[in-house]
Amino acid sequence: MSKKIERVQAGEKVFDWLLLLLSIGVLVEAYRIDGIPGLNSPGSFPVGLALIMLASSLVILFSHRRKRRDPQIRGALHEFQVFWSEHFQPHIVVFTLVSVAYLTAIVWVSFYLSTFLFLSVMFIYYRNGRILSSLLLSGLAIAVIYVLFTLVFRVYLP
């Protein structure tokens, strides 16, 4: 009976180590809130969550120790190329960049205008250039947001 060897995805072990480092950083920042916290101090909840995160990352790292890289991946550079092609596809990169621009635009432009522009650009991009219907959908979405939050819930949006 042969034992099946589990394979890791490209970049998975590097991600495991980065998760461990992030967990340690979160624990350090949680500790800086008020030192070694008592059970009812402001830092007890963040320290507790950071410890859970640290323990989880250690379990993940330990469970992946026997996993092997896909034999088709020839080296570290090839693994990076496979990782890049799998996780940084054009539609993901475009969405990320437009989202950052949207979050930046909210500060200078009103919420409604920046949201309308964001939705319009994304609808046009993901619907392969259907401009008129994308603008109508964006306008309808903004109208629904306005009615719900401003008129019904009476919540001021920036």
Alpha-carbon gap, residue 24 to 39, rounded angstroms: 21
Whole-prediction pTM: 0.65
Residue 152: CB partners within 8 Å, gap ≥ 6?
Answer: none
Helices (DSSP H) in 35-130: which residue ranges? 44-63, 76-87, 90-108, 111-126
CA 48-52-57 angle, 5° bins: 145
CA 37 to chain CA mean position, Å: 30
Residue with tokens 């250690």: 58
Query: pLDDT tens per residue, the chain (158 residues)?
Result: 556 667 888 888 889 999 999 999 999 999 998 877 677 888 888 999 999 999 999 999 999 888 887 788 888 888 888 889 988 999 999 999 999 999 999 999 999 999 999 999 999 999 999 999 999 999 999 999 999 998 898 888 77
Kindly list the domain boundaries of the chain, sorted by start residue.
7-87, 90-152
pLDDT per residue as tens digits for the range 28-70: 999 998 877 677 888 888 999 999 999 999 999 999 888 887 7
